[in-house]
């Protein structure tokens, strides 16, 4: 039943997304491929919306993904699933976590979990670029240069340098990109 599966998949995601919401993106891309709940493009839209609304980005994405998969009950179950590991684990370890935080066990495990989480983010970025900046299907008809999605590449580069240089909230760049998309005809 889709609701149980939604809860389970998002429980798994909430449990293992060590780098925060951005690591969860990779899990969501995989869900997009494994199920017909939502597409990779929709996940990417979710990232932008989550960045622009209050609340942890992971919960926002779970809510949106759950809604796309199964409407209102889907969004509630996905969000609860995603939050459940936090509720469960913190309640369980509350009594004794302090003793172990600086222990060799924790530092060793985190020394490998953090690079793995970043690797998943990079992998998500690769998938994201494939879909957004490159148009693999166009290769057959147009050759090498048709593959590159110039408008998106230029806009992404401009946004990237803008974000690095100007410390404005993400929503400003997202809104500006939306306008540019409309003006310059960015439809896929």
Partner 1 sequence: MKDLLEIFWVFAKTGAITFGGGYVMLPIIQREAVENRHWLTEEQLIDFHSLSNCLPGIITLNCAVFIGNYRKGKLGGIAACLGAITPSIIIIMIIAALISGFADIPAVKDAFGGIRACVCALVLNVILKLWKKSVVGRTALVVFICAFACSVFTSVSAALIIIAAGIVGLAIFAVKSASSASGKGGGD
Window 150 to 169, contacts with partner 1 (CB under 8 A): 151-153, 155-157, 159-160, 162-164, 169
**Touching partner 1, residues 90-119 (CB under 8 A):** 90-91, 93-94, 97-98, 101, 104-106, 108-119
**Touching partner 1, residues 127-146 (CB under 8 A):** 128-129, 131-133
Of 111 and 141, nearer to partner 1 (C-beta) is: 111
Of 140 and 183, nearer to partner 1 (C-beta) is: 183
**Shortest distance, position 49 Cβ to partner 1, whole Å:** 6
Count of other CB atoms within 10 angstroms of residue 53: 12
**Shortest distance, position 32 Cβ to partner 1, whole Å:** 12
**Touching partner 1, residues 10-69 (CB under 8 A):** 12, 14-23, 25-27, 30, 41, 44-45, 47-51, 53-60, 63-64, 67-68
Question: Rounded to whole angstroms, how far apart are CA atoms 68 and 176?
Answer: 25
Cβ(78)–Cβ(14) below 8 Å: no
Using rule CB under 8 A, residue 76 touches partner 1: yes
**Binding residue count for partner 1, defined by CB under 8 A:** 107
Of 2 and 16, nearer to partner 1 (C-beta) is: 16
Question: Rounded to whole angstroms, how far apart are CA atoms 68 and 64?
Answer: 6
Using rule CB under 8 A, residue 7 touches partner 1: no
Q: What is the DSSP string of 66-125?
A: HHHHHHHHHHHHHHHHHHHHHHHHHHHHTTTHHHHTTSHHHHHHHHHHHHHHHHHHHHHH
- What 8-state DSSP symbol labels residue 186? -
**Shortest distance, position 66 Cβ to partner 1, whole Å:** 9
**Shortest distance, position 150 Cβ to partner 1, whole Å:** 11
Question: Rounded to whole angstroms, how far apart are CA atoms 153 and 138?
Answer: 16
Question: Rounded to whole angstroms, how far apart are CA atoms 5 and 111?
Answer: 32
Strand, helix or coil at 180? helix
């Amino acid at each position: 039943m889709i609701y149980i599966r939604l809860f389970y998949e998002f429980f798994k995601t909430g449990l293992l997304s060590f780098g925060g919401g951005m690591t969860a993106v990779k899990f969501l891309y995989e869900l997009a491929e494994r199920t017909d709940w939502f597409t990779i493009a929709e996940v990417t839209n979710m990232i932008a919306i989550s960045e622009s609304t209050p609340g942890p980005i992971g919960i926002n994405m779970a809510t949106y993904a759950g809604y796309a998969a199964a409407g209102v009950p889907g969004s509630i179950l996905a969000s609860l699933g995603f939050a459940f590991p936090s509720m469960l684990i913190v309640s369980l370890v509350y009594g004794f976590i302090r003793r172990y935080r600086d222990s060799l066990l924790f530092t060793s495990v985190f020394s490998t979990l953090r690079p793995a989480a970043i690797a998943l983010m990079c992998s998500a970025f690769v998938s994201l670029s494939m879909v957004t900046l490159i148009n693999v299907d166009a290769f057959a008809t147009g050759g090498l240069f048709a593959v590159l999605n110039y408008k998106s590449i230029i806009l992404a580069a401009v946004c990237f340098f803008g974000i690095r240089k100007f410390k404005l909230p993400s929503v400003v760049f997202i809104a500006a990109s939306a306008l540019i998309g409309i003006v310059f005809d960015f439809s896929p």
